[in-house]
Amino acid sequence: MNVRDSEAVEALLIAAGHTKASSEADAELLIVNSCTVRQKAEEKAVGKTGYLCTTGKIVGLMGCAVKRLGENVFKKLPKLNFAVGPRALGLIPKIVSDGRFPRLELGDEGLGDALSAHTGNGFQAFVTVLVGCDNRCSYCIVPDVRGHEYSRPAREVIAEVRALVKRGVKEVCLLGQSVLRYGVRNPAWDENDSPSPGGYNEPFPRLLEALSSIEGLERIRFTSAHPAGCTDELLRAYRQFPQVCRHLHLPVQSGSDRILADMGRRYTRSEYLKAVEKLRQFDPEFALTTDVIVGYPGETSEDFEETRSLMQEAQFDNAFIFKYSPRPGTRSAAKEDDVLKEEKERRDQVLLADQEKRGLERNRALIGTERDVLVEGPSKRNKSRLSGRDSGNRIVVWDMIEGSAPAPAGSIVKVRILDAHAQILLGEIV
């Protein structure tokens, strides 16, 4: 989501006549995009901004940490020129051209401008379809900083994706904190929109249907998901539209019903696992990734073992493990942060080691298969290799062979898998 926001600001500034500097040292204007989902993320962004403020250049801070800090941002960073919350990014070009500093913007003004601004570089694009969040999980600061949930009109999203595809985009990733809730809080479709040819009633599957009919769009991804959104209609859309990628990021957070209830996640362990089973039944190679929090207040070793066993049952392909950090103003921040730092670290390491092993086993099972891979370009580690991703978002790497057909970035090629690591598949072009 932050990568998307940075891109939008870049596009808006370029449209206003600015040019992108080749390096930090070259720039006259520097803007740091901040995250505040964990304390460490915020400290990093504020620390970096503090350093930039010593360079004498124009410096701005944008994003979630600004919204959380409010006026206090200038106490922490007295030399900062401007600070803009995550829903006011569209104001940045005007703030820069006005040059009246210091300036603080925390509202919603300019939201629409930022949502639709794209640089149009490359063949992959993020498209925000759902802004904000109303779920209020106990530990989470996102609703406070990103504001209420709002679904962009489907017509606007479809027109945007069409325009992106015209500019060469092959893959879009639809963004929302709980993206399957698209069109639930406010309607995304209105009576004037043509009916769904496939008879889809739920707003998100209907959006997938509409985007699947765009000629030239090869892949549709979306993130993040909640198990309640894994409906039969969503499954039907997966089945019907091959462009919809066989991967879902389905954050579970914990495997303990007691902790899940305290977190206010609105599903039980067994409901979560039912959603997993549905997806894996539909396609055994379906890739599932997740987020987990270790060391939530009151998490006992039994709770932790429940998380461990859930991860094994769900057979995740990849997982992001986070050590709990209390965020001011959230419900769980009122509870004692009682799991010791060392114990959080230990639980983190245990889950990482489990996942490494599981990821390797799951990837090994794909040896011998042929996979459609969207080429991303030369591999970072070895320039004589190409790298891309399969439908399950798995990284696939293969050797460039002299004399074989070119595989430019953005094209789809078939790769046969010969070997596997926990995070990467190695193959040969077919």
CA distance 185 to 79: 40
CA distance 121 to 201: 34
CB 224 to ligand SF4: min, Å: 7
> Pairing mode, if any, of strands 58-63 and 29-34?
parallel
Question: Which span (137-145, 202-210, 280-288, 348-356) binds ligand SF4, by CB under 6 A?
Answer: 137-145
- For residue 140, state whether it binds ligand SAH (rule: CB under 6 A): yes
Which among ligand SAH, ligand SF4, none contacts residue 212 (Cβ within 5 to 8 A by kind)? none
Cα separation of the two ends of the chain: 35
CB 326 to ligand SAH: min, Å: 6
Q: Would you say 164 or 248 has its CB closer to ligand SAH?
A: 248
Q: What separation in angstroms does the CA of 190 have from each of 123, 146, 153, 194, 429?
A: 30, 25, 8, 9, 46
- Of these, 177, 254, 307, 318, which contacts ligand SF4 (CB under 6 A)? 177
Which residues, in sequence order, are bridge partners of residue 370? Answer: 416
- For residue 344, state whether it binds ligand SAH (rule: CB under 6 A): no
Question: Which span (118-126, 204-212, 324-332, 403-411) binds ligand SAH, by CB under 6 A?
Answer: 324-332
- For residue 230, state whether it binds ligand SF4 (rule: CB under 6 A): no
- For residue 322, state whether it binds ligand SAH (rule: CB under 6 A): yes
Phi, psi of 312 (to 5 degrees): -70, -45
- For residue 140, state whether it binds ligand SF4 (rule: CB under 6 A): yes
Question: Which span (41-49, 123-131, 136-144, 403-411) binds ligand SF4, by CB under 6 A?
Answer: 136-144
- Of these, 178, 289, 363, 391, which contacts ligand SAH (CB under 6 A)? 178
Which residues, in sequence order, are bridge partners of residue 387? Answer: 377, 397
Give the interface size with ligand SF4 as a residue count (CB under 6 A). Answer: 9
Question: Which span (130-138, 157-165, 200-208, 276-284) binds ligand SF4, by CB under 6 A?
Answer: 130-138
Q: Which two tokens stand for residue 197?
A: 């040819």
Q: Would you say 142 or 373 has its CB closer to ligand SF4?
A: 142
**Residue among 340, 345, 342 nearest 322 (CA):** 345
Which amino acid is located at 310 in the chain? L
- For residue 139, state whether it binds ligand SAH (rule: CB under 6 A): yes
- Of these, 177, 243, 256, 393, which contacts ligand SAH (CB under 6 A)? 177
- Contact status, residue 282 vs residue 235, Cβ threshold 8 Å: yes
Which among ligand SF4, ligand SAH, none contacts residue 143 (Cβ within 5 to 8 A by kind)? ligand SF4
- For residue 36, state whether it binds ligand SF4 (rule: CB under 6 A): no
- For residue 142, state whether it binds ligand SF4 (rule: CB under 6 A): yes
Q: Which of residues 38-67 bind ligand SAH (CB under 6 A)?
A: 38
**Residue among 178, 179, 161, 182 nearest 170 (CA):** 161
- Of these, 291, 313, 337, 354, which contacts ligand SAH (CB under 6 A)? 291
Q: Which of residues 240-269 bind ligand SAH (CB under 6 A)?
A: 251, 253
- For residue 135, state whether it binds ligand SF4 (rule: CB under 6 A): yes
Look up tokens 């439908």; give the residue.
391
- Contact status, residue 357 vs residue 329, Cβ threshold 8 Å: no
- For residue 326, state whether it binds ligand SF4 (rule: CB under 6 A): no
CA distance 423 to 357: 10
Q: What separation in angstroms does the CA of 257 have from each of 264, 323, 365?
A: 10, 19, 31
> How far is residue 291 CA from its own chain's centroid?
11
Q: Would you say 30 or 250 has its CB closer to ligand SF4?
A: 250
- Contact status, residue 274 vs residue 236, Cβ threshold 8 Å: no
Q: Would you say 147 or 251 has its CB closer to ligand SAH?
A: 251
- Of these, 150, 204, 286, 324, which contacts ligand SAH (CB under 6 A)? 324
User: Would you tell me which residues interact with ligand SAH (CB under 6 A)?
Assistant: 37-38, 139-140, 142, 177-178, 224, 251, 253, 291, 293, 322, 324-325, 327
User: Would you tell me which residues interact with ligand SF4 (CB under 6 A)?
Assistant: 133, 135-137, 140, 142-143, 177-178
